[in-house]
Amino acid sequence: MVDQADTRSLPDELAALFPEGGDGRPLPPDLPPGELIWADESFARYRLSTVRPALWLSRDPAGAGTWARYRALHPETGLWPLLLRPSDLQGGEPWETGELAPEPVSRVDRHDARALMAEWWAESAAPSGGGHDVSEQLLPFGPDFPGLAPRAVPDRPPEEVADWLAGELTDGVARLGLVAASRGADALAQIGWMGPVNYSERTAPLSAILRSWEDRFGVRVVRLGFDTLDLSVAAPPKTPEHALAVAAEHWSFCPDSIDQGVGNLGDYARQIVGHHSWTFWWE
C-alpha cells in the first residue's frame, strides 16, 4: 500500500485520462515534466479519441527505476506505465504526433485469443500470391493452428520480472508513458497503438492475446516502439515441446519476428526456452 504521507491528489493533467476524472487516485509528488497526448483525429475510429487524451508522456527520457516505481503504484493510481520509444528521435512518432487510434477497452472482451490466433495462423500459412510456401517453417505443425500452449508456473513474481526487464530496457531514449488501464494488456487498446498495422486494423485483438499471455505466462507489457513490443515473462516455457507450442502462438501473433529472424519455429523455440523476455516487431 502506498504511504499516504508521500502522495497527493492526481494532478489535473493525469485525472483527464479517466472517465470519472480520477477522483481519489494518489500519485507521488515527483511526477516529471510531461504532457497529455491526444490521438490525431485523422486516425480516430471511435469517439473516444475526442473525449479524453490517449496517454500522458514525459518530456524527457525515463530514468533508472522510473518504470518500476510507477508500476508499483498502479493498483492505487490506475495508471499503467510504458516505456515509449519513438521511431524518429526528431519527430517523436507515434507518441508526440498522436498517430494513435484509441479503442474502448470493452471491445477487448469481444475477442477470444485462441480463435484470433487460429484465424491469423490460417491467413499467414496460406500460400501468398507469389506462391511462397511456409510449410517447412512451421514444422512440426501444419496448416491448422495447433492450439494454445499450456500455462506455466512463474519462476518469480511477474511484477519482479517486469521491473527487471524495465531496468534492462531503460536506455536514455524511451520516455515514460502513463495510461489509464486496469492491466498492461489493455493499455494497448486504450492508447490505440498501431504497430502491427499491416496485420491487424484494430488493437483490441492484440490486447486480448496479451491478456491470455498475462494469465498463462505471467507476461507484463513493458515497452512499445513505433512497431515493436517488449514483454516480460515470469513463466517461460522450460521444455522444447512446450516452447514449440508457445512459438506457434508467437508466429500467429507476429510472423515477422520469426520469418525475418531465425526463419523457423524449431530454431525460434530453442531461443525462448527459459527466457524471461519476448520481443516482437512488425514491418
**Higher confidence at residue 3 or residue 54?**
54
Q: What are 81-140's pLDDT values in tens digits? A: 999 999 876 668 899 999 999 999 999 999 999 999 999 999 888 876 444 678 889 999
Q: What are 21-58's pLDDT values in tens digits? A: 877 888 766 889 999 999 988 876 665 556 789 999 99
8: pLDDT strictly greater than 70: no
Q: Model pTM?
A: 0.92
Asked if residue 269 belongs to a domain, the reply is: yes
Q: What are 163-207's pLDDT values in tens digits? A: 999 999 999 999 999 999 999 999 999 999 998 876 666 799 999
- DSSP-derived 3-state class of residue 184: helix
Domain range holding 74?
A: 4-108+149-281
Asked if residue 141 belongs to a domain, the reply is: no
Asked if residue 119 belongs to a domain, the reply is: no
**Higher confidence at residue 235 or residue 14?**
235
Q: What are the DSSP calls for 92-154, one per residue?
A: -TTTTTT------GGGGGG--HHHHHHHHHHHHHS--TT----TTTTTT--SS---PPPP---
Asked if residue 27 lies in contact with residue 7, where contact means CB atoms within 8 angstroms, the answer is yes
Q: What is the residue type of 271?
A: Q
Whole-number pLDDT of residue 132:
64
220 strand-pairing partners:
232
Asked if residue 128 belongs to a domain, the reply is: no
Say if strands 219-224 and 79-84 run parallel, antiparallel, or are unpaired: parallel
67: pLDDT strictly greater than 80: yes
2: pLDDT strictly greater than 60: no
112: alpha, beta or left? (left if phi > 0; alpha if psi -120 to 50): beta
Asked if residue 54 belongs to a domain, the reply is: yes
Whole-number pLDDT of residue 95:
93
Whole-number pLDDT of residue 267:
95
DSSP-assigned letter for residue 55? E
221: pLDDT strictly greater than 90: yes
Asked if residue 185 lies in contact with residue 215, where contact means CB atoms within 8 angstroms, the answer is no
- DSSP-derived 3-state class of residue 258: helix
Average the pLDDT over 269-277 and give the result: 97
4: pLDDT strictly greater than 70: no
**Higher confidence at residue 61 or residue 87?**
61
Asked if residue 70 belongs to a domain, the reply is: yes
Peptide bond preceding 140 in cis form (omega within 30 of 0): yes
Asked if residue 159 belongs to a domain, the reply is: yes
In the chain, the number of structural domains is 1
Rounded to the nearest 10 degrees, the angle between the axes of helix 240-253 and helix 113-125 is 80
Average the pLDDT over 70-77 and give the result: 93
57 strand-pairing partners:
35, 177
Cα→Cα distances 257→1, 183, 265, Å = 39, 25, 11
The burial class, CB within 10 Å (0-12 / 13-18 / 19+), for 110 is exposed
